[in-house]
């Protein structure tokens, strides 16, 4: 720097710019960022589930980006688009399903809209009040995957629960609805899941689902009946009120049970068809394959007898009234009430033998003649007769009772016709009426006028007799009373003498100086002295018990 001018001629060294590394270290940043971004993208793509299309009738409460697809309350997807189908008839909902749930999208998977439902049988889908409706899902069993589904109109009641489905045939639906409970021994064990009119439109087919532990109690002999509402029946047994539960009272319900006489214990196959009975009693009645009809010709009015009224045998129900009508007897030109009853011979047999024998006999079903013979003997020898009885004083329902009437006139019966006639006796009411009538007849025949005349004469005689009696009494009054008075005075004197005698006795015995008293006192003093000497003796004996053996010792030894 001292002489810069001298150095002017020296050329400056050329500075060759250092070959910079072509790539700066900073390039690591975009590379890293790119790697991270690609990693995220790959992760996203790998986690990407399928997009499925579900066709709904309406997209009630479904929103793109808001509505989820839930299976067992787990989100497995989300709606990405909602649009109308090409023909504008339905709604197409596209949903992105999570990768983990990809395997669930098979051809028999079910979709439906879950919305809050408040009904008498309960509240469901309450969470949707806050979250909005969502799409419910139920897995299928198929292996073939599918991407387009048609949603169910009504949510399935049963999703993935173990159990069995059965079909019931009913005349009408009653008050049942989807979701109506099914009871077994008053335990809610299932639900009605669907119902439909039968193909011919003449009955209703109800699909029910019985949950798993309980479906094994449904055997081929199980009977279902309608437990809906309050079952009030007025019959000869009185008023019957039946209900399964309060819920069933409101929304209807079904119940099932297996009759005790059933022999089948194996669980029924799924989708077995059963008959739905109207009520418990009809359902639980024993099946009567060989029910036999008999005809009874009563003589009294049938008012109060209804079809279905019980026919009892010795107080036990053994049949029912099948029809009521009139029959014309051409020979006698007579119209009389005719009652056709169904009388179950099995029950007679069952009552006549033990339960096991009964089932065996029923199983054989060959001893019709034996049964007939039994019935014939009962009627002809023991006097078995039918009788109309009033089952209930208030409702005046009648029933047919079979009982023994040994005094009934003997009859011969013929059991060979299709509907044999059984003998009857008049009912107790009719009987009573007849007796009353005969009494009245007798009363009618009494000679009441003659009796009246006689009575009048008798009364006059009686009057006379009473007059005589009165005369007699007045005589008594005059003659007897003075004598009675003197007698009473004599008695008075006697009593006075007795009193004096008593007084003298008093002075002799109880006076202070009476001799008896003095003697008694002396005797008492003597007794007291005796008691003292006895006490002295006992004292001595206590001290010297040996004196009893040795005698009384001298006073010197005794002092020791």
Partner 1 sequence: MSATALSALQEGLVSCETCGLLSRPAGADQRGRCPRCGAGLEARRRQSIQRTWALIIAAAICYIPANILPVLTTHTLVSSESDTIMAGVIYLYTSGSWPLALIVLVASVMIPIGKLVALGYLLISVQRGSVKNNRDRVRLYRLVELIGRWSMLDVFVDAFVVALVQLKPLMSVEPGPGVLFFMAVVILTMVAAQSFDPRLVWDSDGDGQGRNG
- Touching partner 1, residues 111-130 (CB under 8 A): 127, 130
**Nearer to partner 1 (CB atom), residue 131 or residue 390:** 131
Residue 40 found at the interface with partner 1 (CB under 8 A): yes
Residue 10 lies near partner 1 (rule: CB under 8 A): no
In whole angstroms, the minimum distance from the beta carbon of 123 to partner 1 comes to 16
Residues 511-530 close enough to bind partner 1 by CB under 8 A: none
* CA gap 133, 60 in Å, rounded: 8
> Is residue 7 close enough to count as binding partner 1 by CB under 8 A?
no
Give the angle subtended at the CA of 86 by the CAs of 84 and 89, to the nearest 5°. 60
Q: Which of 34, 33, 122, 110 is nearest to 70 (CA)?
A: 110
470 φ, ψ (degrees, to nearest 5): -65, -45
The correct pick among 30, 162, 315, 409 for binding partner 1 (CB under 8 A) is 30
Stretch that binds partner 1, among 3-11, 18-26, 160-168, 392-400 (CB under 8 A): 18-26
Q: Taking CB under 8 A as the rule, does residue 23 contact partner 1?
A: yes
Q: How far is the CB of 179 from partner 1 (least distance, A)?
A: 24
∠ CA 65-71-77, nearest 5°, is 25
Q: Does 27 bind partner 1 (CB under 8 A)?
A: yes
Per CB under 8 A, the list member of 131, 145, 165, 317 interacting with partner 1 is 131
From residue 228 to residue 267, what is the string marking binding to partner 1 with x (rule CB under 8 A)?
----------------------------------------
Q: Is 26 in the site for partner 1 (CB under 8 A)?
A: yes
Tokens standing for residue 392: 């209930």
Q: Which of 2, 15, 443, 497 binds partner 1 (CB under 8 A)?
A: 15
Sole window of 17-25, 196-204, 362-370, 507-515 interacting with partner 1 (rule: CB under 8 A): 17-25
Tokens of 367: 């001893």
Reading the block at residue 1, the tokens are 């720097």
The reply on whether position 37 binds partner 1 by CB under 8 A is: yes
Least distance to partner 1, CB of residue 52, Å: 20
Q: How far is the CB of 196 from partner 1 (least distance, A)?
A: 35
Among 1, 10, 20, 489, interactor with partner 1 by CB under 8 A = 20
Give the pair of three-digit tokens for residue 290: 């060989």
Q: Which is nearer to partner 1, 96 or 389 (CB)?
A: 96
- Residue nearer to partner 1 on the CB measure, 37 or 522: 37
Residues from 47 through 66 that contact partner 1 (CB under 8 A) = 66
The window from 14-22, 47-55, 295-303, 352-360 that contacts partner 1 (CB under 8 A) reads 14-22
From the number of C-beta atoms within 10 Å of its C-beta (0-12, 13-18, 19+), residue 109 rates as: buried
- The structure tokens listed for 69 are 């697809």
Under the criterion CB under 8 A, does residue 476 sit at the interface with partner 1?
no
Smallest distance from partner 1 to CB 67, Å: 10
Query: How far does CA 17 lie from the centroid of its chain?
Result: 107
Residue 120: which region, alpha, beta or left (left: phi > 0; alpha: psi -120 to 50)?
A: alpha
Residue closer to partner 1, measured from CB, 32 or 440: 32
Listed residue (245, 257, 249) closest to 285, CA to CA: 257
Phi-psi region of 72 (alpha: psi -120 to 50; beta: other; left: phi over 0): left
State in angstroms the smallest separation of the CB of 31 from partner 1: 8
| Contact range with partner 1 by CB under 8 A, out of 30-38, 449-457, 503-511, 548-556 | 30-38
- Please list the residues that pair with 94 across neighbouring strands: 53, 81
Residues from 66 through 85 that contact partner 1 (CB under 8 A): 66, 68
Q: With contacts defined by CB under 8 A, how many residues of the chain interact with partner 1?
A: 21
User: Which is nearer to partner 1, 26 or 559 (by Cβ)?
Assistant: 26
CA 292 to chain centre: 31
Q: What is the distance, to the nearest Å, from the Cα of residue 288 to the centroid of all Cα atoms in its chain?
A: 25
Say if strands 187-197 and 122-124 run parallel, antiparallel, or are unpaired: unpaired
User: Which CB sits closer to partner 1, 40 or 536?
Assistant: 40
- Distance, CA of 223 to CA of 254 (rounded, Å): 10
For partner 1, give the closer residue by CB, 27 or 328. 27
| Nearer Cβ to partner 1 (30/554) | 30
State how far the Cα of 320 lies from the Cα of 293, in Å rounded to an integer. 10
Q: Is position 498 an interface residue for partner 1 (rule: CB under 8 A)?
A: no
> Strand 74-84 vs strand 68-71: parallel, antiparallel, or unpaired?
antiparallel
Q: Which residue lies nearer to partner 1 by CB, 24 or 556?
A: 24
Nearest to 110 by CA among 67, 52, 150, 163: 150
Q: Is 333 exposed, middle or buried, given 0-12, 13-18 or 19+ CB atoms closer than 10 A? A: exposed
Note whether 167 and 271 are within 8 A (CB): yes
Task: Give DSSP secondary structure letters for 44-84.
Answer: HHHH---EEEEEES--TT--TTT-EEEETTEEEEEEEEEEE
Q: Are 255 and 225 in contact (CB under 8 A)?
A: yes
Distances (CA, A) of 419 to 295, 334, 414, 499: 6, 20, 10, 103
Among 6, 10, 24, 501, binds partner 1 (CB under 8 A): 24
- Of 19 and 141, CB closest to partner 1: 19
Rule CB under 8 A: say whether 19 interacts with partner 1. no
Residue 42 found at the interface with partner 1 (CB under 8 A) = no
CA atoms of 109 and 112, how far apart (whole Å): 10
Cβ 62 to partner 1 shortest distance, Å: 14
Q: Contact residues for partner 1 (CB under 8 A)?
A: 15, 18, 20, 23-24, 26-27, 29-30, 32-34, 37, 40-41, 66, 68, 127, 130-132
């Amino acid at each position: 720097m001292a002489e810069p001018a001298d150095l002017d001629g020296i050329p400056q060294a050329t500075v060759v710019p250092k070959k910079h590394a072509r790539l700066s270290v900073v390039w690591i940043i975009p590379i890293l960022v790119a790697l991270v971004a690609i990693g995220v993208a790959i992760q996203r793509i790998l986690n990407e589930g399928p997009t499925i299309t579900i066709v709904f009738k309406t997209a009630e409460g479904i929103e793109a980006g808001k509505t989820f697809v839930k299976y067992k309350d787990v989100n497995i997807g989300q709606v990405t688009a909602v649009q109308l189908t090409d023909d504008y008839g339905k709604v197409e909902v596209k949903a992105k399903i999570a990768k983990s749930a990809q395997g669930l999208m098979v051809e028999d998977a079910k979709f439906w809209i879950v919305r809050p439902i408040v009904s008498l049988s309960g509240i469901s889908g309450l969470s949707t009040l806050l979250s909005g409706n969502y799409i419910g899902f139920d897995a299928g069993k198929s292996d073939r995957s599918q991407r387009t589904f048609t949603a169910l109109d009504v949510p399935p009641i049963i999703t993935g629960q173990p159990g069995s489905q059965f079909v019931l045939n009913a005349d009408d639906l009653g008050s049942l609805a989807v979701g109506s409970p099914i009871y077994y021994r008053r335990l809610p064990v299932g639900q009605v899941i669907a119902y439909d009119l039968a193909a011919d439109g003449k009955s209703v087919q109800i699909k029910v689902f019985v949950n798993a532990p309980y479906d094994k109690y449904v055997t081929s002999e199980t009977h279902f009946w309608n437990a809906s509402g309050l079952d009030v029946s007025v019959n000869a047994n009185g008023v019957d009120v039946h209900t399964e539960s309060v819920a069933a009272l409101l929304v209807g319900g079904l119940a099932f049970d297996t009759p005790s006489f059933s022999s089948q214990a194996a669980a029924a196959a799924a989708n077995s068809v059963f008959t739905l009975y109207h009520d418990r009693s009809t359902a639980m009645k024993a099946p009567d394959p060989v029910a036999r009809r008999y005809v009874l010709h009563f003589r009294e009015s049938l008012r109060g007898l209804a079809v279905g009224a019980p026919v009892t045998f010795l107080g036990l129900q053994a049949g029912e009234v099948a029809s009521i009508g009139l029959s014309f007897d051409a020979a006698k030109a007579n119209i009389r009430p005719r009652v056709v009853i169904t009388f179950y011979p099995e029950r007679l047999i069952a009552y006549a033998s033990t339960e096991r024998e009964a089932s065996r006999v029923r199983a054989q079903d060959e001893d019709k003649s034996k049964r007939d013979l039994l019935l014939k003997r009962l009627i002809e020898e023991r006097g078995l007769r039918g009788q109309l009885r009033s089952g209930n004083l208030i409702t005046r329902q009648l029933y047919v009772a079979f009982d023994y009437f040994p005094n009934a006139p003997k009859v011969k019966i013929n059991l060979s016709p299709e509907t044999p006639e059984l003998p009857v006796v008049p009912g107790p009411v009719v009987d009573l009426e007849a007796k009353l009538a005969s009494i009245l007849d007798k009363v009618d025949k009494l000679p009441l006028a003659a009796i009246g005349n006689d009575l009048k004469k008798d009364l006059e005689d009686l009057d006379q007799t009473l007059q005589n009696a009165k005369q007699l009494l007045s005589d008594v009054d005059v003659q007897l009373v003075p004598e009675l008075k003197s007698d009473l005075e004599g008695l008075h004197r006697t009593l006075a003498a007795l009193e004096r005698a008593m007084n003298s006795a008093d002075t002799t015995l109880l006076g202070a100086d009476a001799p008896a008293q003095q003697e008694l006192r002396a005797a008492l003093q003597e007794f007291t002295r005796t008691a003292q000497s006895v006490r002295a003796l006992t004292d001595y004996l206590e001290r010297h018990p040996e004196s009893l053996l040795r005698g009384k010792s001298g006073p010197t030894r005794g002092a020791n």
